[in-house]
Amino acid sequence: MNYRLLSKLLSRITFLIAATMVFSLPWAHPSLQPGNIRSGGFEWGGFFALLGSISISLIVGGVFWYFGKTAAGPLYRREAMAIVGLSWILATVLGALPYALSGTCTGEDSNGDSVLMQPMDWIFEAQSGFSTTGATVLEKLEKPELVPRCILFWRSSTHFLGGLGIIVLFVAVLGQGSAGKTLMRSEMPGPSKEGTQARMQHTALVFASIYCALNVVLTICLKFCGLSWFDSLCHAFGTLATGGFSTYDGSIGGFEAVIGASAVLWAEIFIVVFMILAGTNFTLLYFLVVLRKPGKLIADVEWRTYVMIVVGVTLLVVVFGYVNQDAGFYTEGNFWGSIGSALRQGGFQVVSILTTTGYGSATDFDSWNSFGRGVLLLLMFIGGCAGSTGGGMKVIRHVLFVKILHLELEKSYHLTVVRPLRIGGQPVEDQELRKNILVYFGLVLLIFMLSWIVLVAIEPSSTWESRESGSSEHKLLDSASAVAATLNNIGPGLGTVGPKQNYAYFSPAAKLLFTVLMMIGRLEIFVFVVLLLPGFWRSR
Amino acid sequence: MNYRLLSKLLSRITFLIAATMVFSLPWAHPSLQPGNIRSGGFEWGGFFALLGSISISLIVGGVFWYFGKTAAGPLYRREAMAIVGLSWILATVLGALPYALSGTCTGEDSNGDSVLMQPMDWIFEAQSGFSTTGATVLEKLEKPELVPRCILFWRSSTHFLGGLGIIVLFVAVLGQGSAGKTLMRSEMPGPSKEGTQARMQHTALVFASIYCALNVVLTICLKFCGLSWFDSLCHAFGTLATGGFSTYDGSIGGFEAVIGASAVLWAEIFIVVFMILAGTNFTLLYFLVVLRKPGKLIADVEWRTYVMIVVGVTLLVVVFGYVNQDAGFYTEGNFWGSIGSALRQGGFQVVSILTTTGYGSATDFDSWNSFGRGVLLLLMFIGGCAGSTGGGMKVIRHVLFVKILHLELEKSYHLTVVRPLRIGGQPVEDQELRKNILVYFGLVLLIFMLSWIVLVAIEPSSTWESRESGSSEHKLLDSASAVAATLNNIGPGLGTVGPKQNYAYFSPAAKLLFTVLMMIGRLEIFVFVVLLLPGFWRSR
């Protein structure tokens, strides 16, 4: 392992994070904060915490830079995997500094006293941001005395950075020559990447540009709905990164008190549209917007499947919600009104979960009927399209998975017929691909099952019993949903981690497990799991 | 498709079932029935139902025989798969006749009136027997006026027949020459079979002999504990087939009232030992008993893993049961007494679930802490060893699965090193095997997820709300456990299908789903799923 080269590359990551922190500084000033929630004066605590974090990052970056000054030699695959894994760990630690130094509180205890975030909370919140999960341990977001606005802006900034992957930005912005391609391979979501090195760097730049442009457009749309610049920016970051951090405890449901019911409808529509775009392969958006070829979008098997899932599942959820007379899906004697509000709610939540954003609207989806909740749990494992900012397993992997199983079943009685795997009519004759997709599903299954039973073992039942809504009878299901929601970078799950709940009540050990799962999920399993194998670090 | 050949082979299955039914006739006589539960007089209803079923089977078999009289031509792989799938469907229908004709009741309604079994109940109970699942819709087993003893004996006989697979018996008893090997391949549990045709038939005979011998020995052991011949035979059938049908509502927990507490301890020990044997590869038992080579048993990787799972999980369950102060695991101020009873209970249930038997002891495992319940749910997917009567996915597949994933992870950073897959030090260089194991896991995952969400969709929440212990909040978890318990041929699951509950309350649609799942599970996924593909039936 070429440690000097690792060190050189880690120094750049560190400087990039320090640079991003600077943009959170201005929000310490009350005049920039949202009119409805404004701190009493200048947020000196948050401001100095950010300044301190920037300083520490610069020092750490300097040490890495010094050690890596004489770095030489090519970047091998092993080094590339190591740098990706280590840079996420480093980013998480550095990203946690502002929470640590500002004395941000998770909420209030039963006496109304504020409760400071603990070390595992800092790490959890930072990882949740970078991995674009959006799971939170902060309970009273609307109280600036508990959570400074500038820290809240940093929290949403981690989504922005995490959205396309720090490494993609790294390649695009800082350039890495031969290293770029290897790094992109490890970090870019989705099973297949191709193209030359120069094209790779060009692609990264195009992706970053589309990403920034979408952020700008959504920010303006939300501002138009009546939100402050602060809220508009934070929610644009959360949407386009498919993250899900909000600045309100009630997520998007919290907008109503600020901008009124009719404006919320528009905000929800904008957010749904941009969530769908964020879950779309950015290559297709490039064809659509830059090259004006919408046909590519329609012709893409993955995108068609993605849209069909959104439409199909929304309709199912609406039907079951109406028949079960769920709140928000059914109003006595008002059929069309019921259907309208059911479509709004069902559509929003299906898109929010499928794209792995995790925003919640007015009605808690945890109050839906069992079918609706079960379907959302399954959707968590599907995720967005490859090459999007969406997490999860990706639609294309599911398309391939079903096709592969079908072909293998056919082979079991038609031994002589060997049929190629086709996507959209084109044969994909990479025999390794078949196995790789199956291995990927196998790993997700194994990690999910092990994490689930470990969580059930380490988390005391009292975590459930102490909550108003909770009962330890739900421990098995809630734990499964918490693992699914973190591993797939969604955020909210069912029950005790439902959209109106949060992760604050878990033990530090469980939070560590969630942090690891979020990183595993964001790095598409392989990179992180490989880092845990002792054989990986042994020199060859 | 050579339909005449299919017909010829189906006729033999039919005659075999008719022959087995004859052995249930004697139990209609009160003198043969257990002393504690004896019908008032000769069970004419059950007797004539069995006679009727035998007659119908003979007629059906005659028709098949007539149609297949002129059958010729070899048995191809496709025909072999068709015959296995169809013979299970046929067996299920014929096996359901005694329930249908005898007017057996599922239980009593709230007014104390007896409730007749419905058509889906007959099919469910027959499939549950043949597939050695042991899930039941009968609630008042101890009332001969609701369930004739001779019908109850038939119910346990279906376990006996299903145990080694009707086809194995068929090969061994009736001989099928070239067909034998192909049939055995489809039906014998486990991923790999080898050997010549003659050896295959010899193996089938040896397996059947060991199986019968074990049944005889356990029957004598149980008789020794004080049970009647009737109960001893039925529970031996249930144990050695890893089925789980009991003649008491309380399963093995029902023994205490009959033979007293101290004899129950012995009965449990005998049953645990024989469950472990039933879950062991019969080839190893052959080496142990016939060839006197116990070294083979110890050297076998699968068997070692199987025993380690039993020991390891039992210890975990005991520790968590004691710490959580679960009933039966913890007695205030009596440490050693607690540990003793915890080991007894934990060990029994772990073995019962792992081997896919599904017998329950005195304490309901559904009352265990979440960790214990969760671990049992995971165990359901492991199952016994290949070449045993145990269901589930089989230990060897899990061993291979973990090894394959590990090798693939290594490959992702060590592209140049290709390591062979090894089992017990021996390289297994069947490249197809790697893919087949992964495909198998993929299919189980897909079938499990789809069945789960379909069950949640079709089963009304009122099924949960109407039960004493139930709440529709548990619908998602209970449904998952019901699918797991039927697909893996266990029987009891969690909550509303827990060991002290049963499947009577489900809708006919759900019972049909369970019936299909039990068959899919018993036929190791491929055979049944292939039958559902339209391409399979199209002539080539």
Is the minimum CB–CB distance between A443 and chain B shorter than 8 Å? Answer: yes
Q: Are A369 and B405 a contacting pair at CB < 8 A?
A: no
* Averaged pLDDT, B301-325: 95
Query: Phi/psi of residue A116, each to 5°?
Result: -70, 150
Give me the residues of A, 32-71, that contact B with CB < 8 A.
none
Interface test with B, best of A368, A406, A408, A438 (most B CBs within 10 A): A438
Handedness of CA A516, A517, A518, A521 (dihedral sign): positive
CA angle at residue B264 from B468 to B371, to 5 degrees?
A: 50
Q: Is residue B117 scored above 60 in pLDDT?
A: yes
A419 shares contact with chain B (CB less than 8 Å): no
Q: What is the pLDDT, as a whole number, of residue B430?
A: 66
CB of B418 within 8 Å of a chain A CB? The answer is no
What does the pLDDT look like over B170-180, one tens digit per residue? 555 444 444 55
Q: Which residue has the tokens 């739900």?
A: A474
Query: From the CB of residue A119, how many other CB atoms can be counted at a distance below 10 Å?
Result: 12
Is A226 buried (19+), middle (13-18) or exposed (0-12) by CB count in 10 A?
Answer: middle
Is the Cβ–Cβ distance between A494 and A477 less than 8 Å?
A: yes
Centre a 10 Å sphere on the Cβ of residue B510 and count the other Cβ atoms it contains.
21
Task: Round to whole Å and give the CA distance between B396 and B423.
Answer: 9
Instruction: Say which DSSP state B422 is in.
Output: E
CB contact under 8 A, A413 and B370: no
Of B338, B339, B358, the C-alpha closest to B348 is B358
**Which DSSP string corresponds to B259-302?**
H-HHHHHHHHHHHHHHHHHHTS-HHHHHHHHTS--HHHHHH-HH
Which pLDDT does position A500 carry in this prediction?
84
Judged by DSSP in three states, B426 sits in strand
pLDDT tens, B208-223?
A: 888 999 999 999 999 9
Place of tokens 């912005």: A173
Whose CA is closest to A404, among B489, B443, B104, B507? B443
pLDDT of residue B65: 93
Pick from B64, B283, B16: nearest CA to B175 = B16
Rounded to the nearest 5°, which phi and psi values hold at A210?
Answer: -60, -45
Nearest neighbour of A457 by CB, restricted to B371, B413, B472: B371
Instruction: Please give the residue of chain A at the shortest CA–CA distance from B411.
Output: A530
Please answer whether residues B140 and B105 qualify as being in contact, where contact means their C-beta atoms are separated by less than 8 angstroms.
yes
Identify whether the C-beta of residue B114 lies closer than 8 Å to the C-beta of residue B123: no
Which one, of B302, B467, B473, lies nearest residue B401 by Cα? Answer: B302
* pLDDT exceeds 50 at position B151: yes
Non-local (6+) Cβ contacts of A392 within 8 A are A354, A356, A380, A381, A382, A383, A384, A488, A489, A490, A521
Residues of B in contact with A186 (CB under 8 A): none
Smallest CA–CA distance, residue B539 to chain A, in Å, is 11
The answer to whether residue B443 neighbours chain A at the CB level (below 8 Å) is yes
Three-point CA angle A42, A43, A47, nearest 5° = 120
Strands A105-108 and A114-116: what pairing? antiparallel
Inter-chain CB proximity A452 and B374 less than 8 Å = yes
Residues of chain B with Cβ-Cβ distance to A473 below 8 Å are 473-474
| A535 part of contact set with chain B, CB < 8 Å | yes
Please, what is the average pLDDT of chain B? 87
For chain A, the maximum distance between any two Cα atoms, rounded to a whole number of angstroms, is: 77
Q: How many residues does chain A have?
A: 540
Nearest to A530 among B370, B412, B435 (CB): B412
- The Cα B45–Cα B27 span in angstroms is 12
Query: What residues are paired with B107 via a beta bridge?
Result: B115
Average pLDDT rounded to a whole number, residues B150-171: 82
Q: Which residue among B78, B442, B457 places its CB closest to the CB of A441?
A: B442
Contacts B456 to A, Cβ<8 Å: 370-371, 374
pLDDT in tens, B47-73: 999 999 999 999 999 999 999 888 777
Q: How far apart are CA B374 and CA A457, in angstroms?
A: 9
Gap between the Cα atoms of A408 and A459, Å rounded: 41
| A441 in contact with chain B, both atoms CB, cutoff 8 A | yes
In sequence order, what are the beta bridge partners of A107?
Answer: A115
- Phi, psi dihedral angles at B107 (to 5 degrees): 165, -150
Q: Which of residues 491-530 of A touch B (CB under 8 A)?
A: 526, 529-530
**Å from B186 to nearest chain A CA?**
11
Contact call for A371 and B412, based on CB within 8 A: no
Taking CB atoms and an 8 Å cutoff, what residues of chain B touch A413? Answer: 77-78, 81, 530, 536
Q: Which amino acid is at B260?
A: G
Q: Is A445 on the interface with B (CB under 8 A)?
A: yes
Closest Cα in chain B, distance from residue A198 (Å): 24
Q: What is the mean pLDDT of residues B111-138?
A: 94
Spatial CA neighbour of B504 closest among B238, B155, B135 = B135
Instruction: Give B-chain residues touching A537 at CB under 8 angstroms.
Output: none
Is B473 near chain A, with CB under 8 Å?
Answer: yes
B436 neighbourhood in chain A, CB within 8 Å? 408
Contact between residue B434 and residue B458 where contact means Cβ atoms under 8 Å apart: no
Torsion of CA A354, A357, A363, A369, to 10 degrees: 30
Q: Is the pLDDT of residue B169 over 80?
A: no
Task: Among B77, B371, B456, select the one facing A374 at the smallest CB separation.
Answer: B456
Using the Cβ of A404 and the Cβ atoms of chain B, whether some distance falls under 8 Å is answered with yes
Give residue for tokens 């299903």: B162
Contact between A377 and B476 using a beta-carbon 8 Å cutoff: yes
Portion 322-381 of B in contact with A at CB < 8 A? 324, 369-371, 373-375, 377-378
The values of phi and psi at residue A81, to 5°, are -65, -40
- What are B330-354's pLDDT values in tens digits? 888 888 989 999 999 999 999 999 9
Q: Does A446 touch chain B (CB under 8 A)?
A: yes
Please give, rounded to a whole number of angstroms, the shortest distance from the CA of A428 to a CA of chain B. Answer: 17
Strand duo B105-108 + A422-423: pairing: unpaired
pLDDT digits (tens, 9 = 90+) for B416-455: 666 777 777 777 656 677 888 899 999 999 999 999 999 9
Per residue in B363-405, pLDDT (tens digit) is 888 889 999 999 999 999 999 998 888 888 999 999 999 999 9
CA distance B302 to B403: 13
Higher-confidence residue: B470 or A528? Answer: A528
Residues of chain A with pLDDT under 50: 173-174, 177-178, 190-193, 540
Cα–Cα–Cα angle for B488, B529, B243, rounded to 5 degrees: 25
Chain A interface mutation, best of B76, B401, B409, highest count of A Cβ atoms under 10 Å: B409
A461 touches B: beta carbon within 8 Å: yes
| Model pLDDT, residue B353 | 96
Interface touch A457/B320, C-beta < 8 Å: yes
Structure confidence at residue B3 as a pLDDT band (50, 70, 90): confident
Return the residue matching tokens 């699914």: A484
Complex ipTM value: 0.91
Return residues 475-494 of B near A (CB < 8 Å).
475-477, 479
Q: In angstroms, rounded to a whole number, what is the distance separating the alpha carbons of residues B238 and B224?
A: 18
Instruction: Take residue B105 and report the two structure tokens written for it.
Output: 């009741």
